């Protein structure tokens, strides 16, 4: 299928990688014919490496609009309106003088963000999130949600829920997570109730996750499907920080980074346990950032 990708302010290496599959017809604009598997793999690679840039992918789809699109690194978010996919942009009212372009408040805010970026993230209060799914493709389903509340660098609360997914759990996922169809049937809750409780727990906290764009993509779709306003929280990806601040030969999986920092893994591939590992990794990375 025909795929069009546009990138803004992205790393040069990422642009070079894309030319292996796509033609660059203008600066930051790539086109090509890709299978769904390759398309999804490329998008995941873009989201993992986009840094502070923005990306949009548009492609043909068998729906009423005959197209679909994805957005990464932007305040513009896709929303579903009775089967029609539109884009919602959140921005302050133009009548609010506090946020008019060039105002002292805007300049002060931008200066604060730049200072925080230079010195590293020292966020003391945040919530770590993680999900388990039936697979990595975009049409797979969430089967578990986890969140860990951190205050002043310490665990103060947690949320965990198994989620009924309406389809059989693949055998490889059962083996990886221990989550079975029987477990979901007996202990799982409906998706609309699960995402309601999850968003209420997270509140307005900064959300920290390992490859958090993966989690956010699934959470965004579940919000759209259940008619719930999507989380507009600030997000932090521990993979991006780890790649910037460490050099790990075995890659940047959760297990590899835990090994690098000497963090013991007792259980993995369950949402709340992975949240606890991500929390410990993030605190270690903050120590490096503060040096």
pLDDT of residue 210: 95
Question: What residue numbers bound the domain in which 54 lies?
Answer: 2-89
CATH of the domain at 78: 3.30.70.240
Tell whether 165 is covered by a domain: yes
Tell whether 211 is covered by a domain: yes
**Do 145 and 77 share a structural domain?**
no
Domain boundary among 89, 112, 141: 89
Report residue 37: phi and psi, to 5°: -65, -45
Higher pLDDT, 49 or 96: 49
Helix, strand or coil for residue 273? helix
Tell whether 31 is covered by a domain: yes
**Do 228 and 143 share a structural domain?**
yes
Cβ atoms of residues 110 and 117 within 8 Å: no
Average pLDDT score over the chain? 85
Report residue 265: phi and psi, to 5°: -105, 115
The total number of structural domains that make up the chain: 2
Residue 228 has pLDDT above 90, yes or no: no
**Do 82 and 157 share a structural domain?**
no
**Do 73 and 134 share a structural domain?**
no
Question: pLDDT for 147-157, tens place per residue?
Answer: 999 999 999 99
Tell whether 115 is covered by a domain: no
Tell whether 147 is covered by a domain: yes
Higher pLDDT, 211 or 61: 211
**Do 285 and 149 share a structural domain?**
yes
Domain boundary among 44, 70, 89: 89
**Candidate from 108-117, 193-202, 222-231, 241-250 with smallest mean pLDDT:** 108-117
Nearest residue to 144 (alpha-carbon basis) of 268, 279, 253, 277: 268
**Do 143 and 61 share a structural domain?**
no
| pLDDT band (50, 70, 90) for residue 106 | low
**Do 59 and 139 share a structural domain?**
no
**Do 17 and 151 share a structural domain?**
no
Tell whether 111 is covered by a domain: no
- Residue linked to tokens 């997270």: 202
Q: How many angstroms separate the CA atoms of 207 and 238, rounded?
A: 11
Tell whether 107 is covered by a domain: no
Phi-psi region of 166 (alpha: psi -120 to 50; beta: other; left: phi over 0): left
Cβ atoms of residues 83 and 63 within 8 Å: yes
Residue 109 has pLDDT above 80, yes or no: no
**Do 244 and 191 share a structural domain?**
yes
Q: In the chain, pLDDT over 90 holds for what percent of residues?
A: 49
**Do 155 and 284 share a structural domain?**
yes
CATH of the domain at 158: 3.30.420.10
Domain boundary among 63, 89, 115: 89
Q: How many angstroms separate the CA atoms of 244 and 3, rounded?
A: 30
**Do 70 and 129 share a structural domain?**
no
**pTM score of the predicted model:** 0.60
**Do 51 and 185 share a structural domain?**
no
Tell whether 254 is covered by a domain: yes
């Amino acid at each position: 299928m025909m795929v069009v990708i546009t990138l803004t302010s992205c790393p040069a290496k990422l642009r070079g990688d894309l030319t292996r599959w796509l033609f660059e017809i203008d600066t930051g604009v790539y086109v090509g014919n890709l299978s769904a598997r390759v398309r999804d793999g490329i998008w995941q690679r873009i989201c993992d490496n986009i840094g502070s840039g923005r990306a949009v992918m548009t492609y043909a789809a068998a729906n009423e609009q005959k197209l679909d699109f994805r957005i990464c690194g932007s305040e513009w978010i896709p929303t579903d309106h009775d089967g029609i996919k539109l884009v919602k942009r959140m921005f302050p009212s133009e009548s609010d003088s506090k946020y008019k372009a060039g105002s002292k408040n805007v300049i002060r805010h931008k200066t604060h963000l730049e200072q925080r970026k230079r010195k590293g993230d020292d966020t003391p209060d945040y919530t770590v999130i993680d999900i388990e799914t039936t697979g990595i493709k975009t049409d797979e389903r969430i089967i578990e949600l986890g969140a860990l509340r951190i205050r002043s660098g310490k665990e103060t609360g947690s949320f965990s829920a198994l989620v009924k997914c309406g389809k059989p759990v693949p055998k490889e996922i059962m083996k990886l997570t221990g989550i079975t169809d029987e477990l979901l049937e007996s202990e799982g809750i409906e998706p609309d109730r699960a995402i309601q409780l999850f968003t209420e727990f997270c509140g307005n906290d900064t959300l920290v996750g390992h490859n958090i764009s993966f989690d956010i993509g699934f959470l965004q779709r579940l919000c759209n499907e259940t008619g719930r306003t999507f989380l507009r929280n600030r997000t932090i990806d521990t993979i991006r920080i780890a790649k910037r601040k460490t050099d790990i030969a075995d890659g940047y999986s959760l297990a590899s980074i835990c090994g690098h920092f000497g963090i013991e893994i007792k259980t993995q591939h369950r949402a709340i346990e992975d949240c606890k590992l991500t929390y410990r990794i993030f605190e270690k990375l903050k120590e490096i950032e503060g040096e």
